[in-house]
């Protein structure tokens, strides 16, 4: 009988990969093998988990995240939001990678994360990490924006069929529909921050920490940093007539946040209150009806795979423009969001 030799024990880093199989019309099916191969060749023992329902990403990260050295999520902004909640439940800064697979992908755009899924995976295994702020909204957390009013309910109010057929155009079509304009409701709100008090009627309000909101860059203002413990507030006054409405639209298109129709400020904490409950969205997902919202920045709360040299993280490097998609790649035609993990 031959001599038995003990097996050499190899200690590999453990990576938890949580992905929404339906995001972006299920485009991950064109990249899944490449992504897993990229992680494995980089020396990771990979556990892959396709989400089965809403909040599944929160639960799996909360329950098993601490058993892994790296966590990577793939999906739209809603999936990323769930990952952040799971990490905050853990209370540990386990490095987080993000492979975007949605329509807007505001968070990824701000941090220069490639929208090409394979390229995003390669950037994770070859890249650096940086500590990034997240937002707290009462007892919840959000990645980059909390908002109310006009257009904030477009994401969850737009039918999945429209999202699948028209992608980002569906958001615009729904937001500019006659029925929505006719039913646009102003809210009488008090905003308190850093000793300042604002009271007015607003058709829209948000506290954000991003260069891009709803696919539109610049709505958070200039000199946005995602690791300074400061967030940007933008509140749009209720236009009294069609002339004021047109002025508001023009100011938005010009990114003129100093216009009289806006209140714009920077703060680390704000309280937004009203005599009535207001429906809020967190990262484009319904966040509940509340009459009082305490919103604050959690400074450098998560460790994310992103270049610390980026301007938005306090460095000097600009975000390089992404190359155009490869039309020979089937996923080029399936790049729109379906971020419902149940469909």
Q: Active-site residue numbers?
A: 285
Q: What is the C-alpha to C-alpha distance for residues 73 and 82, in angstroms, rounded to an integer?
A: 9
DSSP, collapsed to helix, strand or coil, labels residue 209 as coil
Q: What is the C-alpha to C-alpha distance for residues 7 and 38, in angstroms, rounded to an integer?
A: 26
Look-up of token digits 């319904």 = 286
CB 63 within 8 A of CB 267: no
The CA-based dihedral angle spanning residues 95, 99, 103, 109, taken in that order and rounded to the nearest 10 degrees: 60
* Helix and strand totals (H; E) in the chain: 11, 15
Strands 285-305 and 187-193: unpaired
User: Which tokens sit at 195?
Assistant: 């000793």
Classify residue 159 as exposed, middle or buried by CB count within 10 Å of its CB (0-12, 13-18, 19+): exposed
> What's the chain's Rg over C-alpha atoms?
21
């Amino acid at each position: 009988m031959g001599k038995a030799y003990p097996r050499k024990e190899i200690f590999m880093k453990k990576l938890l990969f949580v992905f929404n199989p339906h995001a972006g019309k299920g485009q991950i099916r064109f990249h899944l093998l490449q992504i897993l191969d990229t992680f494995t060749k980089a020396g990771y023992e990979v556990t892959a988990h396709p989400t089965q329902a809403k909040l599944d990403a929160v639960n799996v990260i909360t329950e098993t995240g601490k058993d892994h050295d790296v966590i990577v999520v793939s999906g739209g902004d809603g999936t990323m939001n769930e990952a952040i909640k799971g990490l905050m439940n853990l209370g540990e800064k386990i490095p987080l990678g993000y492979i975007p697979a949605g329509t807007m992908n505001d968070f990824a755009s701000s941090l220069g994360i490639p929208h090409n899924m394979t390229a995003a995976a390669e950037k994770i295994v070859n890249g650096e990490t940086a500590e990034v702020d997240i937002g707290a909204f009462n007892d919840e957390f959000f990645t980059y924006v909390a908002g109310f009013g006009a257009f904030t309910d477009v994401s969850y109010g737009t039918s999945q069929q429209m999202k699948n057929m028209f992608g980002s155009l569906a958001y615009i079509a729904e937001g500019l529909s006659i029925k929505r304009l006719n039913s646009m409701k102003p809210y009488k709100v008090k905003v308190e921050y850093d000793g300042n008090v604002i009271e007015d009627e607003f058709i829209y309000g948000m506290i954000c920490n991003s260069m891009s909101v709803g696919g539109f860059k610049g709505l958070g203002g200039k000199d946005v940093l995602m690791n300074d413990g400061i967030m940007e507030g933008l509140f749009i006054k209720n236009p009294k007539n069609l002339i004021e409405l047109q002025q508001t639209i023009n100011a938005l298109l010009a990114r003129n946040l100093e216009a009289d129709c806006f209140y714009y400020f920077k703060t680390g904490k704000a309280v937004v209150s009203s005599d009535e409950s207001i429906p809020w969205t967190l990262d484009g997902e319904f966040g509940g009806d509340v009459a009082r919202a305490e919103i604050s920045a959690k400074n450098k709360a998560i460790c994310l795979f992103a270049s610390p040299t980026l301007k938005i993280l306090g460095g000097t490097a600009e975000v390089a423009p992404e190359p155009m998609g490869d039309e020979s790649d089937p996923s080029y035609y399936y790049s729109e969001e379906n971020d419902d993990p149940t469909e």
